[in-house]
């Protein structure tokens, strides 16, 4: 699945470390994150952008994929821009000492409080979703006597062929203003007329976990045609174009490998050809990878509890976490690879559903999993590629405390980046 996963002497190693030993030391459920992998992924994007788009272009880490203080520190150290979607993410980034001037604030519904709070702390850019937001940003910027930089989120009308819940670029999406309906042009004209808003360009995001060939190239072409159209009609040339996030990662053997340099080169090629055809300069290009920065850098460890065999029907292997720390199967029937970390040398021919400990049948981590037939209480089950949209989507359903995040680096160091929640944490806000 991933080059940071290996096995030796029947044990599973992640980022060069024996995960069974880590499970013993930190207890389970446990999120592991490979710091070296996160940094390597950032550097791969930074280098590809530099090589194919030049100096000003930039990858922005979409921090909704995994948001906690240590991640923002790493992004700061690596020179990554960030995409944030709430005042909570902004607060976390600020706590980590991240310079908010490098941040882009997304979301389809920023509250007045979000707008105030983020401007108060010097947000670099808003990616405004609709006219109402432009009005609210204009009013707040006027009150502060500043000119606020914004981009406009547009919907290019592309179906990325991913799960319905995470496809966002279609015309009927809740996000952005559609080019097709003329609303994109209206909001551009409206924004240009605002004295306290500086329009920095356009943004789109077509979906997530996208593997389909040419989706980003097609989005880029449509967006650049819009840029050229606005230049002609309104005399406005967009300085920035942000193509959003969405590159898929490998959860199971059948998923393709992502080669970031090749992908960025393909998009760059389409952009350069289109700019030449339309006789416009290439805007500063941004993309917002989330999953492909942190996804493969994560692994979740559980301890196996009950193993239930229902002859003629099904087998269940229950673990000590579940939809609370990983809701992605329950939400999207998402694929994952599960391994029995302490029995890597045994044949995996026992077919089962790996399920959690929550009080509902939909609490499934994965179905059709192959584990060694000797699987039983006390074994350590590893779920691979859980670095994105697991911790960040975790909940306290059934009053389960969220697991800690332990970071691994250098093949032998490990440290806690996020503590395990305690029972006291669960009751902290209860009156």
Catalytic (active-site) positions: 359
- Shortest Å, Cβ 104 to ligand LLP: 9
Q: Nearest approach, Cβ of 292 to ligand LLP (angstroms)? A: 6
CA distance to 106, 134, 141, per residue, from 148 (Å): 14, 10, 6
Nearest-angstrom CA–CA distance, 224 and 241: 8
| Residue with the two structure tokens 């030993």 | 21
What are the structure tokens assigned to 248, written together? 């898929």
Q: What is the DSSP letter of 391?
A: G
- Minimum CB separation from ligand LLP for residue 159, in Å? 16
Q: How far is the CB of 184 from ligand LLP (least distance, A)?
A: 16
Residue 299: both structure tokens together: 């692994």
Residues 6+ apart with CB under 8 A from 39: 74, 78
The least distance separating ligand LLP from the CB of residue 221, rounded to whole angstroms, comes to 19
- Which residue intervals of 235-305 are DSSP H helices? 260-278, 291-294
- Please say which residue, 70 or 106, places its beta carbon nearer to ligand LLP: 106
Task: Please say which residue, 208 or 337, places its beta carbon nearer to ligand LLP.
Answer: 208
Q: Compute CA distances 139 → 101, 111, 122, 135, 315, whole Å.
A: 20, 13, 16, 6, 59
Q: Which residues bind ligand LLP (CB under 6 A)?
A: 62, 64-65, 83, 106, 166, 205, 208-209, 244-247, 288-292, 328, 388-389, 393
**Residue nearer to ligand LLP on the CB measure, 81 or 290:** 290
Strand, helix or coil for residue 288:
coil
- CB nearer to ligand LLP: give 216 or 350: 216
Answer for the pair 38, 59: CB distance below 8 angstroms, yes or no: no
- Of 230 and 330, CB closest to ligand LLP: 330
């Amino acid at each position: 699945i991933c080059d940071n996963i290996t096995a030796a002497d029947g044990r599973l190693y992640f980022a060069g470390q024996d995960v069974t030993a880590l499970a013993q030391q930190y207890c389970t459920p446990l999120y592991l994150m490979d710091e070296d992998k996160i940094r390597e992924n950032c550097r791969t994007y930074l280098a590809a952008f530099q090589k194919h788009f030049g100096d000003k272009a930039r990858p922005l880490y979409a921090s909704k994929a995994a948001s906690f203080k240590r991640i923002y520190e790493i992004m700061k150290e690596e020179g990554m821009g960030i995409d944030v979607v709430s005042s909570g993410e902004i607060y976390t980034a600020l706590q980590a000492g991240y310079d908010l001037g490098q941040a882009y604030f997304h979301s389809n519904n920023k509250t007045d409080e979000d707008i105030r709070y983020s401007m108060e702390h010097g947000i670099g850019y808003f990616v405004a979703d609709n006219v109402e937001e432009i009005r609210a940003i204009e009013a707040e910027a006027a009150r502060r006597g500043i000119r606020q930089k914004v981009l406009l989120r547009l919907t290019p009308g592309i179906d990325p062929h991913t799960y319905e819940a995470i496809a966002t670029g279609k015309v009927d999406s809740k996000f952005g203003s559609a080019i097709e309906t003329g609303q994109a042009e209206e909001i551009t004209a409206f924004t240009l007329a605002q004295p306290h808003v500086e329009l920095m360009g356009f943004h789109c995001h077509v979906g997530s976990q996208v593997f389909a060939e040419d989706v980003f190239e097609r989005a880029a072409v449509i967006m650049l045609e819009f840029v050229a159209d606005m230049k002609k009609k309104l005399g406005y040339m967009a300085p920035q174009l942000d193509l959003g996030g969405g590159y898929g990662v490998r959860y199971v053997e059948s998923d393709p490998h992502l080669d970031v340099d090749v992908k960025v080169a393909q998009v760059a090629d389409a952009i350069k050809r289109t700019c030449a055809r339309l006789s416009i300069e290439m805007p500063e290009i941004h993309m917002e990878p989330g999953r492909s920065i942190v996804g493969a850098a994560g692994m979740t460890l559980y301890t196996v509890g009950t193993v239930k065999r229902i002859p003629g029907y099904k087998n269940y292997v229950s673990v000590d976490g579940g939809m609370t720390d990983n809701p992605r199967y329950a939400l999207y029937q998402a694929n994952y690879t599960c391994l029995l970390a302490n029995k890597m040398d045994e044949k995996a021919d026992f077919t089962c559903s790996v399920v959690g400990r929550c009080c509902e049948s939909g609490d499934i981590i994965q179905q059709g999993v192959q584990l060694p037939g000797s699987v039983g209480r006390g074994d350590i089950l590893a779920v691979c590629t859980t670095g994105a949209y697991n911790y960040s989507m975790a909940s306290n359903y059934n009053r389960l405390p969220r697991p800690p995040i332990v970071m691994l680096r250098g093949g032998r160091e490990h440290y806690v980046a996020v503590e395990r929640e305690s029972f006291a944490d669960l009751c902290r806000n209860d009156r």
